[in-house]
Copies of this chain bind each other. A is one copy, B any other.
Amino acid sequence: MVAKLIDGKQLANLMQEQMKEEVAQLKERGITPGLVVLLVGEDTASQVYVRNKDRVAAKIGIHSKVERYPDTITEAELLAEIQRYNEDPAFHGILVQLPLPKQIDENKVLLAIDPKKDVDGFHPLNLGALFVGKPTKIPCTPYGIMKMFEYYEIDLTGKNAVVIGRSNIVGKPMAHLLLGQNATVTVTHSKTKNLPEICRQADILVVAIGQGNFVTKEFVKEGAVVIDVGMNRDENGKLIGDVKFDEVSPLASYITPVPGGVGPMTITMLMYQTISSATQE
């Protein structure tokens, strides 16, 4: 078996083209979807992410604004900024780029964003809605993965899905979304024993552990669908995933590459949720 590639870049482009048309139609009705990104400090990776978001927003026709703050900003000042954008009707989505400097309580910041404008899907109220199976705003990475399953017609009902990683922004929301599609879901993590053995039972394997080439062929059952959320740099600075692609792809039925897999979908879902915020007013 040679795995079929899940081409996230292609699907992202397709969705972005559709959104571009939708935004054009919205503008005729006098609505311009707006997204504001609040960026604190000079973190290099964050700068790159924010630039990419800005570029994709522009391509689709979303009004995008990046607000930069020094890393000396106080929590109260940042909360006041969020409040200002909560009340600003020009912006339907507010994204606070993480991580934040130490003096700022991330939880307080996420709670301060109007849940309706929380296009990252990190507000506890939105996570609670996901929990009870009635999601509205969904963390973008797992949401993008669900769109991949849908587009490639990968049925999840009754499948054994194993998620490696239990973060609030990938692993846990992924588990709820898979459960919502009737998969049997196992969440594994650093304390899991016999991880390769557990993963070998997976029909669907989602890897979000943040360690380059961590998942080898010992983790993968013949015919499994393998989704790689990893974004790591190898010793030569090359972007690699959490999955040892060359070794795993002969076993898998479907696999996502890195780059060009999950990454482009994440940013696409951010725009998708900004537009849905704009139309739900």
Contact = CB atoms under 8 A, between A and B. Distances in A.
Interface of A: 107, 123-134, 157-158, 160, 166, 168, 172, 175-176, 179, 182, 184-189, 191-193, 198
Contact of A187 (B157, B184, B192): B184
Contact of A128 (B131, B158, B189, B192): B131
A171 to B, nearest CB: 9
B193 A188 contact: no
A187 B193 contact: no
A271 B188 CA distance: 33
A132 B108 CA distance: 13
How many copies of this chain does the complex contain?
Answer: 2
28 contacts: A123-B128, A124-B124, A124-B125, A124-B128, A125-B128, A126-B128, A127-B127, A127-B131, A128-B129, A128-B131, A130-B131, A131-B168, A131-B172, A132-B168, A133-B168, A157-B191, A160-B193, A160-B198, A172-B176, A172-B179, A179-B189, A182-B189, A182-B191, A184-B187, A184-B188, A184-B191, A184-B192, A185-B186
Given A168-B133, A179-B187, A193 B128 contact: no
A191 B158 contact: yes
B179 A184 contact: no
Contacts of A184: 186-189, 191-193, 198
A22 B166 CA distance: 37
Contacts of A188: 184
A128 B129 CA distance: 8
A172 B168 CA distance: 15
Given A128-B131, A131-B168, 10 more contacts: A107-B134, A124-B124, A128-B128, A131-B131, A133-B168, A158-B191, A184-B186, A184-B189, A185-B186, A186-B186
A242 B134 CA distance: 28
The 10 closest A-B pairs by CB, nearest first: A124-B128, A128-B128, A127-B128, A186-B186, A182-B191, A184-B192, A127-B131, A158-B193, A132-B168, A158-B191
A275 to B, nearest CB: 24
A167 to B, nearest CB: 10
A125 B187 CA distance: 22
